[in-house]
Amino acid sequence: MANLSRRQFLKASGASLAVLGAGGLPSFAAEAKRRVVVIGGGWGGATAAKYVRLTDPTIEVTLLEPNKEFISCPFSNLVLAGVESLKNLTMNYNGLRKHGVRVRHEAAAAIEPDQKRVRVGKDFLPYDRLIVSPGIDFLWDQIEGLAQAKDTVLHAWKAGPQTVQLAKQLQSLPDGGVVVVTVPPVAYRCPPGPYERASMIAWYLQTKKPKSKLIVLDANKDIVSKPGLFKAVFKDYAANLDYRPSQKVEKIDVGAKEVTTDIGDKVKYDLINVIPPQRAGAIAVEADLVGGDKRWCEVDHVTYESVKHKNIHVVGDSTIGLPVPKSGNVANAMGKICATAVASLLSGKEAPVIAPGNTCYSWVNDKEAIAVVNAYKIENGKVVQIEQKLTPGKSVGVAQNSLAWRTSIWNDVLG
């Protein structure tokens, strides 16, 4: 009832009479707070939390993020090759607190859409609108033997301890060793990421362990992102890099140090990095935000409201259906657009019609990078690409631009 009164009040100022009649002054003062809860403090969620406050500082925003530190996935492939440290990619959430975001380092246990609340431990957080940015989780059971080998077969696809561990495994590889990296079928987080990783590992082997070899087993039939640019890069690493498309890994035998692909090829390795197949973060699946594929969340292209549950918005890598890559830059753009939509809707206004953009750099050695940039528009309520542009080739200038990008976007997400 109280909620109803408040919503009516927000819809039309005339309703204020009813509220006054029913509740009187103090109840209105207490009810006026509009509450947004954000689940997940990655690129999408942290940005959304900050930008709801920037758009409308009267909205109360609580961010639920179990980790005390934000570690950037972009640039973590450079850590593997020893040209960057994880410390430089690690930040805290104090910037968001300065914007008045209530940051709670706890995990959301469950979403209750009917009650409009999130369970956190034994506590419940009510919301008027919820923004879910759960990132990705792995489908371990899609590769036989992988679930049991999770501790030693690293993914390093969420930047953090595994990134450092994989870098150490590479350092201990004897010269002449064979490294295998497996690429999952689309859709997965960061389309060019596996190929940037392959380039950085190949560069490392070429310069530090020249007798060693990297075999890339790609479940996709071709390089998924920036194919022309990566093919040119891979040519430079021909002595140390063997790229094999249409080789979906189906089984791993850690005892025999061998993987089997869907066409029956068996590949031996000394060191393996399996990037597992992926789906939206667990909470999105549990809250029934995913579609028929049980993997990804379909959303409205303007407000990012879930097509399955009202008042719940989803941003970042866990979304599907927009012609955009699962990139940090896109998650940041979605976070900002969703935040303005949420703030507008909570004030009874229409959400502004804004499209995301994507700026995506990939490093290919210790000093050069390539890039792809996409601009989008909204057409009939859907995100449509205006143009995609690639850099002509790898260059130091593009790498320098990527450093400027990270300085700016980290600040946009957290500062």
Partner 1 sequence: MRRSLTLFRQNDALLHERVFPLPFFKFTTRQNFAYTSALSTTEAGAPRCSDRKHKSVGLRLSLWTSIAVFSFTFAAFNASAGPLDSPGAQKSLVCSACHGFAGNAPGNTVPIIAGMNASYFKKAIKDYAEGKRPSPEMEPYSKYVIQFGIDEIADYFAAQKKQAPALTKTDPKAVSRGATLATQCGACHGPKGDGDPGSVTPAMRGQPAGFLQAQMALFGSDKRKLEDAGLEESKKRVFKGLTESDFADLAAYYATLK
Q: Which of residues 29-58 bind partner 1 (CB under 8 A)?
A: 29, 32-33, 51, 53-58
Per CB under 8 A, the list member of 139, 260, 373, 382 interacting with partner 1 is 373
* Binding map of partner 1 across residues 183-222, x = CB under 8 A, - = no contact: ------------------------x---------------
Per CB under 8 A, the list member of 1, 13, 172, 264 interacting with partner 1 is 13
Taking residue 292's Cβ as centre, other Cβ atoms within 10 Å add up to 6
Taking residue 258's Cβ as centre, other Cβ atoms within 10 Å add up to 15
- Of 142-150, 252-260, 283-291, 350-358, the window that binds partner 1 (rule: CB under 8 A) is 350-358
* CB 133 within 8 Å of CB 38: yes
User: CA distances (Å), 284 to each of 186, 279, 290, 293, 323, in order?
Assistant: 19, 10, 6, 13, 20
* Binding map of partner 1 across residues 91-120, x = CB under 8 A, - = no contact: x---x-xxxx-x------------------
Least gap, CB of 376 to partner 1 (angstroms): 7
Using CB under 8 A as the binding rule, whether residue 404 contacts partner 1 is answered as: yes
Name the helix (H) or strand (E) containing 80: helix 76-80
Per CB under 8 A, the list member of 76, 376, 383, 394 interacting with partner 1 is 376
Using CB under 8 A as the binding rule, whether residue 88 contacts partner 1 is answered as: yes
Supply φ then ψ for residue 42, to 5 degrees.
Answer: -85, -155
- Judged by beta carbon, residue 99 or residue 382, the one nearer partner 1 is 99
Cα–Cα distance between 58 and 149 in angstroms, integer? Answer: 49
Indicate the DSSP class of residue 316: S
Cα–Cα distance between 135 and 326 in angstroms, integer? Answer: 9
* Binding map of partner 1 across residues 308-347, x = CB under 8 A, - = no contact: ---------------------x--xx--xx--x--x---x
Taking residue 408's Cβ as centre, other Cβ atoms within 10 Å add up to 11
Per CB under 8 A, the list member of 139, 149, 164, 390 interacting with partner 1 is 390
Please work out the total of residues on this chain that contact partner 1, with binding judged by CB under 8 A.
80
- Of 26-34, 188-196, 212-220, 263-271, the window that binds partner 1 (rule: CB under 8 A) is 26-34
Q: What share of the chain is helix, strand, coil (3-state, %, to 5)?
A: 35, 30, 40
Least gap, CB of 414 to partner 1 (angstroms): 8
Name the helix (H) or strand (E) containing 183: strand 178-183
Per CB under 8 A, the list member of 38, 39, 61, 118 interacting with partner 1 is 61
First-to-final CA distance of the chain: 39
